[in-house]
Amino acid sequence: MAKRNDHLLVLLSDAPWWSSVVVSGCTYVALTYLFLYYLDNGTVTSEGVIQALQSVAVYLSLILLLPAPISLLKRFASRKRLRETESYVHLHQMHWLDFEALVGEYYRQKGFQVSQSLSRAPDGGVDIELRKDGKLQLVQCKHWKTRKVGVKVLRELYGVMLDRRADRMIVVTSGHFTAEAITFSASKQFELINGRQLLAMIKETKPKEETVSDALATRTEPAPFAPLCPRCQSAMVLRIAKQGKHQGTRFYGCSRFPQCRHIEPREAIQRAG
């Protein structure tokens, strides 16, 4: 990321877990084989150097593997945070680095290639880089609880977008934008996302909760008798809920579903029969 000089291990911990594996493997191969090709001339000095390189190769490759589990834990935490964020309270209570991670995970779930360094170092106006369909989009996150994002911030980001030759600049805030900022962005390649819009976007990534009647399965077995729906007097059929908190539960549902959504617990009808 621009203007960030993070340590290699920090960068790898923010990258996909397999990046550490690839870097570690390449480092081991380079130190063990490529260098040996040039150093192995049969002298005593070269043999000592070779042995040293072999030891260094093992230890360095193991060190470069350390970010892999850290990256996995970060991805797990980000997915959990995305699932649990439902209100302004959640947005405002989280740390600003967690807010950036939340936004990055949202775009990752939407199929973007996300480049993100969760660091306190200066970011040069870019918190996240998004790539998809050959286009580069830049994201700046503003975890501002009270102050609105103004036009001055957008003017600075517009210069960053032009300098990076990006296709779009996305500004995400947990709060709101000023009227001047909204007017300025209208004629530019900007996308402004306030807290309310962000919560709505996050909600779209979550599986819809369905009731038993909305998750009706096909009829799995014939009923021993044909109970009638008390609402419309149509025949009821035995079904199994495939989704929702009642998954696997057997119940009777009206055969006219979805016109009639009346359901009865299987045990209740059997007792009545």
Other C-beta atoms lying within 10 Å of the C-beta of residue 61: 20
Provide the 8-state DSSP code for 32.
Answer: I
Helices 96-109 and 195-204: crossing angle in degrees, nearest 10, is: 40
Q: Are the beta carbons of 218 and 114 closer than 8 angstroms?
A: no
Return all residues near 34 (Cβ < 8 A) that are at least 6 apart.
Answer: none
Other C-beta atoms lying within 10 Å of the C-beta of residue 45: 9
pLDDT, position 266: 64
What are the Cα distances from residue 239, in Å, to 78, 184, 246, 262?
37, 56, 12, 12
Return the beta strands (E) in 101-167 as ranges: 113-116, 128-132, 135-142
pLDDT, position 216: 44
Other C-beta atoms lying within 10 Å of the C-beta of residue 192: 19
Sign for the CA dihedral angle at 71, 76, 79, 80 comes to negative
**Alpha carbons within 13 A on the beta-carbon side of 227:** 24
- Phi and psi dihedrals of 169, rounded to 5? -115, 125
Q: Are the beta carbons of 1 and 126 closer than 8 angstroms?
A: yes
Q: For residues 47 and 30, what is the distance between their CA atoms, to the nearest angstrom?
A: 17
Task: Please give the chain's pLDDT, 273 residues, in tens.
Answer: 444 445 677 667 766 767 888 888 888 888 777 666 655 555 545 666 667 777 788 888 888 888 888 777 777 778 888 888 888 888 888 999 899 999 999 999 899 999 887 666 555 678 999 999 999 999 999 998 778 999 999 999 999 999 999 999 999 999 999 999 999 999 899 999 999 999 999 988 877 654 444 444 444 444 455 577 777 777 778 777 776 666 777 777 877 776 777 777 766 555 554
Return all residues near 161 (Cβ < 8 A) that are at least 6 apart.
Answer: 138, 168, 169, 189
Q: Are the beta carbons of 177 and 148 closer than 8 angstroms?
A: yes
pLDDT, position 41: 54
Exposed, middle or buried, 37 (CB in 10 Å: 0-12/13-18/19+)?
Answer: exposed
Per residue in 46-93, pLDDT (tens digit) is 666 667 777 788 888 888 888 888 777 777 778 888 888 888 888 888
**Alpha carbons within 13 A on the beta-carbon side of 103:** 32
pLDDT, position 27: 84
